[in-house]
């Protein structure tokens, strides 16, 4: 595996590990769902550039699945923890991602955002 491919795989594995540790919830949205939905976005989240179609499909699917306050707060917390814990994720790219996929989310993707305010 090339160095770049290994780095992407490592980031995906770390996302999965972080997500499985941080939240246990009764929400329909889980950190595992967030991870699987956003894994195709890894390259964009690190380097920027072109957003793969599979990434936008995952973003749109996650947005559709997060149809309750609890689900949206869970998704927000999962993304917040990943942003805090994962080296290489560019917060500016993460913040730009929903708009690049034509999705509006009612919160900012940022380690400073208070996910408990998501409605």
Span between the terminal Cα atoms of the chain, in Å: 42
Which of 11-20, 53-62, 100-109 is modeled with the greatest confidence? 53-62
Which residue range is the domain that position 80 belongs to?
Answer: 3-117
Looking at residue 48, its pLDDT comes to 92
Confidence grade of residue 28 (pLDDT, cut at 50, 70, 90): confident
Instruction: Quote the distance between the C-alpha of residue 93 and its chain's center.
Output: 11
Number of folded domains in the chain?
Answer: 1
pLDDT for 58: 92
| 109 pLDDT above the threshold of 90 | no
Q: What is the pLDDT of residue 24?
A: 45
Residue 42 above 80 pLDDT?
yes
Are residues 109 and 94 in contact, defined by beta-carbon separation less than 8 angstroms? yes
Instruction: Please tell me the distance from the alpha carbon of residue 21 to that of residue 19, in angstroms, as a whole number.
Output: 5
Q: Kindly report the CATH number assigned to the domain that includes residue 82.
A: 1.10.110.10
């Amino acid at each position: 595996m090339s160095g770049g491919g290994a780095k992407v795989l490592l980031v995906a594995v770390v996302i999965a590990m972080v997500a499985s540790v941080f939240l246990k919830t009764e929400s329909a949205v889980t950190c595992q769902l967030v991870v699987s939905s956003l894994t195709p976005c890894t390259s964009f989240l690190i380097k920027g550039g072109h957003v793969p179609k599979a990434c936008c499909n995952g973003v749109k699917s996650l947005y559709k699945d997060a149809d309750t306050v609890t689900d949206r707060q869970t998704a927000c917390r999962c993304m917040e923890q990943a942003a805090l814990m994962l080296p290489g994720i560019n917060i500016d790219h993460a913040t730009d991602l929903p708009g690049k996929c034509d999705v509006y989310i009612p919160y900012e993707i940022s380690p400073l955002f208070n996910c408990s305010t998501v409605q």
